[in-house]
A and B are shown apart, each in its own frame.
Chain A
């Protein structure tokens, strides 16, 4: 059973995203994984994730965006969480900015785990309590604890 907290590497929760624009936000979040050697080559990763951004709205509304990609450029299923104070335009269906951004990437051969993870995140973030608490979390530990508490096995 996949637990979201297990997919987040150290430094994988950025509570004060500096970038304001969608592509820059994705790059800022991906940097955590690039620096750890978990994305290689980065160009391949960005090609895949930005292609998806052009085809669909990964902003699912309620202030949430889940940019994602299945690509040869990663070897493990990984999750990076970012929070933007001002919000970022992810072309959400409700036309509102996204404040919580969950970046998911998986190897090409892990389709089932990838879909399971995306579904799990989407379900988790529909809960008002989770969004409110994550938007108020003071540090990485607190954010991790919130996810752990609400994660249904």
Chain B
């Protein structure tokens, strides 16, 4: 398999996940697509539990995710790793699938703590490589 693009899904990704993706990118070599998803379900949950306005919750998530994305970008830059930042909205599984298709990504790196049904994702994307850390 020729992997020259790696999708790094950042939800609940501890630093070792990012570091592993960078090491892979350095060795292959490959470009990283760092992704956060503003998940509709998370917004709904937080609106209900915190009693906040939907737009307020979305803004808080955007603030947090953009800052983390630029921190990751700064780390990538220091290591000469090619990177693109993505902040998208929607249902996580669908966004992951679309990003992998649209950008012809060969490998997904994801934390085991990410809140997604990885078994279902693997079933639906058998031709894609996935590394769970």
Q: Which residues of A contact B (CB under 8 A)?
A: 51-52, 55-57, 60, 70, 93, 111, 115-116, 118-120, 122-123, 126, 152
Contact = CB atoms under 8 A, between A and B. Distances in A.
A56 B74 contact: no
Interface of B: 59, 62-63, 66-67, 69-71, 73-74, 76-77, 80-87, 103
Contacts of A123: 59, 62-63, 66
Contact of B85 (A51, A60, A111, A120): A60
A120 B103 CA distance: 26
A50 to B, nearest CB: 12
Contacts of A70: 74
Contacts of A115: 67, 70-71, 74
Contacts of B71: 115
B interface SS class:
helix
Given A51-B77, A60-B85, 11 more contacts: A55-B82, A56-B76, A57-B84, A115-B67, A115-B70, A116-B67, A120-B66, A122-B66, A122-B69, A123-B59, A123-B63
B38 to A, nearest CB: 10
Contact of B63 (A51, A56, A119): A119
Chain A interface helix/strand/loop/mixed: helix
B67 A56 contact: no
A118 B59 CA distance: 15
A55 B70 contact: no
Given A56-B77, A115-B67, A122 B87 contact: yes
B74 A111 contact: yes
A119 B86 contact: no
B67 A119 contact: yes
A12 B55 CA distance: 31
Nearest to B79: A55
Contacts of B67: 115-116, 119
Contact of B77 (A52, A60, A119, A122): A52
A55 B59 contact: no
Contacts of B84: 56-57, 93
